[in-house]
Amino acid sequence: MHVSAAFLVEFGILLLILGAVSAVAGKLGLSAVPLFLIAGLFVGPGGLLPVPAAAPFLEAGAVIGVVLLLLSLGLEFSADEFTQALRRHTPSGVVDLVLNAVPGVVAGLLLGLPVAGVVALGGITWVSSSGIVSRTLSDLGRLGYRETPAVLSVLVLEDVAMAVYLPMLGILLAGTAFLAGLAGVLVAVVALIGVLMLSRWSGPVIGWLITHDSDEQVLLRLLALTLLVAGAAEYMGISAAVGAFLVGLAVPAEAAESVRRVIGPLRDLFAAAFFLSFGYAIDPRDMPPALVVAALLAVVTAVTKVITGWFAARRDGVGARGRRRAGTALIARGEFSMVIAGLAVAAGVTEIGPLAATYVLLLAVGGSLLTRLSGQGRDRLAHPHRQA
């Protein structure tokens, strides 16, 4: 088997960079996420140290990284607890949509974008990054905080809404038949309901499948199951992240601790690839012309996300400090925003590309930093039986 020497060298360079960045973050008491994102700019095509041979690893690793991050997040909660939280936070999802999509829609109209571009920009400003938020909360030790279920409810409601939004956006961008697009939406919604119901009933089966004395067997079985479910969810029009999250929810509490321990190192590696790939995909040379508009939009939608998180956490009876933490945790935009921008650019709305890339980078980095600065005080553990 022939292995490219360039790939090995560049992959080694990436690992050295990730290790150094992680060490610096640890010394500063920060989450490594914003530093990983910035490092990605330096190794991208327009950066100081491009690594083109390692690009295939970053592309594949980014997908796996999101899946493992959401699997780990699901391990912190039970299916019953989260189902109740999801029902309680439907109003939070509505507030989230109105407050955060409208600024993008207004900006699109002011910029003179076509209708499809306006709808796309509304989606870009609406959806938070599940991957960045989950890793930041984990790095800061906040998975057990009382406001976290409210944050997760908003994230999952957004991911679920993408099963409807993306096909409808595709109809606008491509001009396809409405009935064909509607059929795709209905299939995605029915599949989502089925997966949600299955996740509540499959706990004993999943526990039986992954329970073993060998850590190797636990890792291989869990990874296989998670990737299969995530892939099936994506194939049916649901986010792979939602599929992975539901697998984590379905893991029995008695198995969750051993699973977290076994999956941790692999999750950290691929999660780092995910964050690095974000910066890698952005050419720094495209950012200056879009910086003013992107910064204004970032400021407005950072405020609206804080209001969203405050509203959601208040519904759970969380105090003011926890509401503020919930709001800042939701600021970061990421994977879905970039997917939406990519669809728009591919359909000919090319002006969205630099604006979306600059906007996402500003909020991915700024959101992580603001989450860190929002205060470490806590009320109490929300789910002590699922904690380590």
Q: Give the relative orientation of helices 178-201 and 240-250 as an angle to the nearest 10 degrees.
A: 20
Decide if pLDDT at 57 tops 70: yes
As a whole number, mean pLDDT of residues 7-13 equals: 89
| Residue spans of beta strands (DSSP E) within 308-374 | none
With CA atoms as reference, report the closest residue to 187 among 220, 235, 116, 246.
Answer: 235
Q: Which residue has the higher pLDDT, 228 or 186?
A: 228
pLDDT, position 305: 97
Burial class from Cβ neighbours inside 10 Å (0-12, 13-18, 19+) for residue 187 reads middle
- Provide CB contacts within 8 A for 292, sequence distance 6+: none
Among 60-69, 88-97, 139-148, 246-255, where is mean pLDDT lowest? Answer: 246-255
Convert the pLDDT of each residue in 293-340 to its tens digit: 999 999 999 999 999 999 999 999 999 999 999 999 999 998 788 878
Convert the pLDDT of each residue in 265-283 to its tens digit: 888 888 888 888 877 877 7
pLDDT, position 385: 40
pLDDT, position 299: 97
Cα 57–Cα 131–Cα 47 angle in degrees, nearest 5:
50
Among 80-84, 327-331, 351-355, where is mean pLDDT lowest? Answer: 80-84
pLDDT, position 200: 62
The CATH number of 5-386 is which of 1.20.1530.20, 1.10.510.10, 1.10.3470.10, 1.20.1080.10? Answer: 1.20.1530.20
pLDDT, position 273: 86
Q: In 3-state terms, what secondary structure has residue 262?
A: helix
What amino acid is encoded at 296 in this protein?
L
Q: In 3-state terms, what secondary structure has residue 303?
A: helix
Residues 329 and 369: their CA atoms lie apart, in Å, by 10
pLDDT, position 376: 56
Decide if pLDDT at 380 tops 50: no
Contacts 24+ apart (CB under 8 A), 118-121: 119/169, 119/172, 120/169, 120/173, 120/340, 120/341, 120/343, 120/344, 120/349, 120/352, 121/344, 121/352, 121/355, 121/356
Decide if pLDDT at 388 tops 50: no
Burial class from Cβ neighbours inside 10 Å (0-12, 13-18, 19+) for residue 198 reads middle
- Give whole-number Cα distances, 144 to 60, 150, 211, in Å: 30, 12, 25
